[in-house]
């Protein structure tokens, strides 16, 4: 027994007391029969007697709402939850203890701020899915003796585990149900998940003994004294945790897919099998998720992009370099026009800068030191030996535009917008449709302003983002404010005063706009705080879109100045903002959100005219001409097909309006209107139809704040 803690009785230390940590402990009472104290995780014994409860250390637990409760030292988050309500105890999955996520069963030894995490909390879900990764690994170990494990993290949706099943063994899709069945058995066994600290030496010995060389490699990089393992049943994993108390928390499991993954992402190392899975606390949630996956497959922007002829990739042009086809270009141009219009209203000025820049530009900006090695390599001029880089971002160019004239405080804020195409190297394995590309166009702008103007500018950018989300039907979005780590101020550039002002400006701007934003301390870039927007699409998936970022670094590096009212030189503040992020990414999100059924004002082809027979092809062409006068994008389907077939084919192309024309329509200058979704609106005068359509488009193209 260790005298590792001091027990206090009546405010006086009791030196001959022993503190017994966690576990069952027997104390004999006066009648000499043992009493079992199993609920107590830490308690004190003096002269073989349990010391009066009052004599334990009590600790103060502060909850997120600011309330404080006292608990015995060594209390666990699960016990805290139980003390509040049985229901909470059933729902809680992990706990945030002083900002760190902990197991529910880990004793809390000191005063702490505790947030009980549930399924709805990202960290709660994370612990749940991470425990599920262990569960899958345990099942695999039983099914594939000799299997070796790499890493098995939780991801945004579920988890994966990288495994090496051994020479000649493959895990196929047909094996997934067997793995799931084994996982369910281990769930039924309700195995405890137990955390244990272990010395580096012992950890190496333990995992070498099992020939787990991937784990041994990981252990060798860890610092002694920080290493923990988690054990459930016969499975022990090297792991930082946190985890669920036992396997029975997991109710529904699905092994989703497998893929090849190089150990540590290095193609010179062995290729492992990455098994993806997902789990839920309710069967119903799993069913909903699987349904959503089916729907997501149908909405995959790569598939719809091909069907609607929006964009393409050519291996000859190069991977990750999208080719915008005429219809996709139509769509993109509409979006750009829409943004340009809003920007004009908010007093932005358009600029255009080249696709490359001198290497020195990026040395000055700091990008070269940070990203140079992992980016496209410099382009050399044949004669002068100059070095140019493909533009990875527009900001340095815009700083140089700022510097072309001496600026006064009267010129600020200066808002510079550019649909700037940038190039960033991505590994070929990372490329994905329009969402991960090597060349893309940002809907970029930089606002140069005085520190006093930051809040006002933030309010305006938030307005712009609101208008855009509303117009494009992204009603469901979240925002996150990323601030400095208050305990680590040295790592940030810029004066304390400016930081405080900017952080306050962001928080206040969000409050004034009624935007409930999550505040994350320590998530700010070293050069300034930021506000990020995530939208939820029609399937409930989250996409990171717009960012507003304050920057003190580039104005410093480029020595930007303005003359203040005091006639002195001052540094402006720079704000980067891109509501869409990039046109490519945004179009991908829009395709998946709408399943390719774009709103009328964005649809590349807004109407298709379907003559019932060849005889009316000429009239159909006249209709197109008339619609064009109203700036409506229309075309004729004059294939020699039955009209029913033409309707079906064009419906598949998600055309908003099909206009059927025959004898009656030709005689009366009319069209027979069939709206997307199969609603027949009957015969309408052509001119009336065109005017109405133009009005609808016009309204959408000119959204105002009042509409939101
Ligand atoms: Zn783990
Ligand atoms: Zn920028």
How far apart CA 346 and CA 328 sit, in angstroms, is 27
Query: From CA 137, how far away is CA 280, in angstroms rounded?
Result: 17
**Rounded distance from Cα 412 to ligand 2 centre (Å):** 17
367 is known as an active-site residue: no
Taking residue 675's Cβ as centre, other Cβ atoms within 10 Å add up to 12
**Residue 676 and residue 654 in contact, taking contact as beta carbons nearer than 8 Å:** yes
Of the listed ligands, the closest to the CA of 553 is: 2
Tell whether the model's pLDDT for residue 318 goes beyond 60.
yes
Phi first, then psi, for residue 578 (nearest 5°) are: -145, 100
H-type alpha helices, 110-171: 122-143
Residue pair 75/58 in contact by the 8 Å Cβ criterion: no
Q: Rounded to 5 degrees, what are φ and ψ at 517?
A: -105, 145
Q: How far apart are CA 277 and CA 136, in angstroms?
A: 8
For residue 35, what pLDDT is reported? Answer: 42
Ligand closest to Cα of 443 equals: 2
Q: Is 353 left (phi over 0), alpha (psi -120 to 50) or beta?
A: beta
Distance CA 506, CA 455 (A): 6
Is 444 part of the annotated catalytic residue set? yes
Nearest ligand to the C-alpha atom of residue 417: 2
Ligand in closest contact with the CA of 239: 1
Q: How far is the CA of 575 from the centre of ligand 2 (A)?
A: 8
Q: Which residue has the tokens 């870039």?
A: 525
Q: How does pLDDT run across 89-133, given as a tens digit for each residue?
A: 999 999 999 989 999 999 998 899 999 999 999 999 999 999 999
Residue from 576, 577, 646, 674 carrying the catalytic annotation:
576
SS3 266: coil
Give 206: exposed, middle or buried? Use CB within 10 Å, 0-12, 13-18, 19+.
middle
Q: How crowded is residue 204: how many other Cβ atoms within 10 Å of its Cβ?
A: 16
Which has more confidence, 492 or 23? 492
Q: How far is the CA of 103 from the centre of ligand 1 (A)?
A: 12
Q: Could you tell me the pLDDT band of residue 375, with boundaries at 50, 70 and 90?
A: confident
The CB density around residue 493, as the number of other CB atoms within 10 Å, is 15
User: Ligand 1 centre from 81 Cα, in Å?
Assistant: 24
- Is 176's pLDDT higher than 90? yes
pLDDT band, very low/low/confident/very high, at 155 (cuts 50, 70, 90):
very high
Q: From the CA of 443, how far away is ligand 2's center (Å)?
A: 10
Cα(228) to centroid(ligand 1), Å: 10
CA distance 476 to 538: 9
Instruction: Kindly name the residue from 395, 399, 449, 510 that is annotated as catalytic.
Output: 395
Residue 285 has pLDDT above 70, yes or no: yes
**Closest ligand to Cα 241:** 1
Q: 201 an active-site residue?
A: no
The band of 141, judged by pLDDT with boundaries at 50, 70 and 90, is very high
446 catalytic per annotation: yes
Active site residue 111: no
Per annotation, catalytic residue among 301, 530, 570, 571: 530
Look at residue 112 in the predicted model and tell me its pLDDT: 94
Distance 243 CA to ligand 1 centre (A): 8
pTM of the entire structure?
A: 0.77
Distance between CA atoms of 231 and 325, rounded to whole angstroms? 55
The pLDDT tens digits of the residues spanning 341-364 come to 999 999 999 999 999 999 999 999
Contact 95, 114 (CB under 8 A): yes
User: Can you list the alpha helix ranges (DSSP code H) found in 513-662?
Assistant: 553-557, 583-594, 617-629, 643-652
Q: Are 655 and 676 in contact (CB under 8 A)?
A: yes
Question: How far is the centre of ligand 2, averaged over its atoms, from the C-alpha of 441 (Å)?
Answer: 12
Q: Are 555 and 576 in contact (CB under 8 A)?
A: no
Of the candidate ranges 21-30, 252-261, 395-404, the one whose mean pLDDT is the lowest: 21-30
Ligand whose nearest atom lies closest to the CA of 126: 1
Q: Is 576 a catalytic residue?
A: yes
Burial of 82 (C-beta count, 10 Å sphere; 0-12/13-18/19+): middle
Distance from the alpha carbon of residue 182 to the mean position of ligand 2, in angstroms: 51
* Residues whose CB falls within 8 Å of the CB of residue 397, separated by 6 or more in sequence, listed in order: 353, 354, 357, 361, 391, 420
> Which has the closest alpha carbon to 106: 86, 80, 67?
80
Active-site entry in 141, 330, 343, 442? 442
- Which residue in 301, 398, 424, 455 is the catalytic one? 424
For residue 335, pLDDT beyond 50: yes
Q: What string of DSSP letters covers 240-254?
A: -----SBGGG--EEE
| Nearest ligand to residue 195 Cα | 1
Would you state the pLDDT for residue 707?
52
Give the distance (Å) from ligand 1 centre to CA of residue 20.
Answer: 28
pLDDT in the model for residue 27: 44
Q: Which ligand is nearest to the CA of 445?
A: 2
How remote is the CA of residue 590 from the centroid of ligand 2, in Å? 23
Q: Which residue has the tokens 């502060």?
A: 62
pLDDT of residue 7 exceeding 80, the answer is no
Q: Which of 164, 237, 444, 537 is catalytic?
A: 444
The encoded tokens of residue 548 equal 């507003």
Statement: residue 55 has pLDDT above 60: no
Give the Å distance between the CA of 19 and the centre of ligand 1: 30
- pLDDT over 90 (residue 706): no
Q: Which of 299, 415, 438, 446 is catalytic?
A: 446
Interval between CA 482 and ligand 2 midpoint (Å): 17
Residue that is written with structure tokens 């490359």 in the block? 356
What 3-state DSSP class applies to 278?
strand
User: Is 674 considered catalytic here?
Assistant: no
Q: Are 584 and 561 in contact, with CB atoms under 8 Å apart?
A: no
Rounded to an integer, what distance in angstroms lies between the CA atom of residue 704 and that of residue 164?
A: 57
The rounded Å distance from CA 445 to ligand 2 centre is 7
pLDDT recorded at residue 372: 84
Interatomic CA distance for residues 217 and 203, integer angstroms: 11
Q: Where are the alpha helices (DSSP H) in 246-300?
A: 283-299
């Amino acid at each position: 027994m260790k005298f590792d803690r001091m027990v206090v009785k009546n405010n006086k230390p009791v030196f001959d007391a022993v503190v017994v940590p966690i576990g069952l402990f027997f104390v004999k009472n006066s009648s000499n029969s043992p009493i079992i104290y199993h609920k107590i995780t830490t308690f004190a014994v003096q002269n073989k007697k349990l010391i009066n409860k009052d004599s334990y250390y009590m600790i103060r637990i502060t909850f997120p709402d600011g309330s404080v409760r006292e608990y015995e030292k060594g209390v666990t988050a699960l016990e805290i939850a139980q003390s509040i309500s049985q229901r909470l105890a059933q729902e809680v999955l992990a706990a945030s203890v002083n900002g760190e996520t902990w197991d529910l069963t880990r004793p809390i030894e000191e005063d702490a701020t505790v947030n009980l995490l549930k399924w709805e909390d990202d960290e709660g879900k994370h612990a749940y899915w991470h425990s599920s990764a262990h569960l899958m690994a345990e099942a695999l170990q039983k099914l594939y003796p000799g299997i070796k494990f790499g890493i098995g993290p939780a991801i945004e949706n579920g988890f994966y585990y990288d495994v090496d099943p051994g020479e000649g063994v493959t895990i196929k899709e047909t094996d997934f149900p067997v793995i799931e069945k084994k996982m369910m058995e281990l769930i039924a066994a309700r195995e405890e998940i137990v955390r244990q600290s272990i010395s580096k030496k012992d950890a190496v010995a333990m995992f070498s003994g099992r020939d787990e060389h991937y784990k041994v490699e990981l252990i060798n990089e860890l610092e002694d004294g920080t290493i923990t393992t988690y054990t459930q049943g016969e499975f022990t994993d090297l792991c930082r945790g946190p985890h669920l108390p036992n396997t029975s928390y997991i109710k529904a499991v699905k092994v989703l897919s497998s893929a090849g993954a190089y150990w540590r992402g290095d193609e010179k190392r062995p290729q492992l099998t990455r098994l993806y899975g997902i789990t839920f606390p309710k069967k119903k949630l799993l069913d909903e998720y699987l349904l959503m996956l089916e729907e997501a497959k149908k909405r995959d922007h790569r598939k719809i992009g091909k069907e609607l002829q929006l964009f393409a990739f050519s291996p000859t042009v190069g991977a990750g370099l999208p080719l915008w086809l005429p219809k996709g270009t139509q769509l993109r141009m509409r979006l750009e026009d829409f943004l340009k219009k809003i920007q004009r209203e908010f007093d932005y000025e358009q600029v255009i800068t080249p696709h490359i820049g001198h290497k020195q530009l990026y040395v000055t900006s700091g990008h070269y030191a940070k990203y140079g090695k992992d980016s496209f390599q410099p382009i050399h001029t044949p004669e002068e030996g100059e070095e140019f880089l493909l533009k990875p971002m527009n900001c340095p160019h815009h700083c140089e535009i700022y510097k072309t004239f001496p600026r006064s405080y009267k010129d600020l804020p200066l808002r510079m917008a550019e649909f700037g195409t940038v190039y960033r190297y991505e590994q070929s394995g990372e490329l994905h449709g329009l969402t991960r590309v090597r060349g893309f166009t940002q809907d970029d702008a930089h606002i140069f302003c005085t520190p006093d103007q930051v809040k006002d500018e933030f309010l305006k950018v938030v307005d712009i983002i609101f208008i855009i989300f509303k117009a494009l039907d992204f009603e469901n979005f979240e925002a996150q404010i990323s601030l400095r780590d208050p305990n680590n101020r040295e790592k940030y550039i810029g004066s304390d005063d400016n930081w405080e002002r900017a952080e306050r400006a962001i928080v206040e701007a969000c409050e004034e706009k009624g935007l409930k934003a999550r505040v994350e301390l320590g998530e700010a870039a070293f050069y300034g705080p930021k506000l990020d927007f995530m939208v939820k699409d029609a399937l409930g998936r989250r996409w990171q879109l717009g960012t507003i970022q304050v920057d003190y670094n580039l104005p410093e590096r480029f020595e930007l100045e303005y003359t203040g009212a005091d006639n002195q030189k001052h540094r402006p503040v720079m704000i980067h903002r891109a509501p869409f992020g990039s046109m490519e990414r945004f179009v991908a999100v829009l395709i998946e959100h709408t399943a390719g059924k774009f709103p009328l004002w964005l649809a590349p082809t807004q109407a298709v005219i379907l003559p019932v027979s060849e005889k009316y092809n000429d009239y159909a062409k006249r209709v197109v001409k008339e619609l064009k006068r109203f700036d409506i994008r229309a075309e004729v389907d004059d294939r020699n097909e039955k009209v029913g077939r033409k309707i079906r084919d064009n419906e598949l192309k998600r055309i908003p309006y099909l206009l059927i024309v025959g004898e009656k329509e030709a005689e009366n200058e009319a069209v027979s209107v069939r709206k997307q979704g199969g609603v027949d609106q009957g015969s309408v005068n052509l001119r009336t139809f065109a005017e109405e359509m133009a009005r609808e488009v016009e309204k959408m193209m000119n959204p105002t704040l009042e509409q939101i």
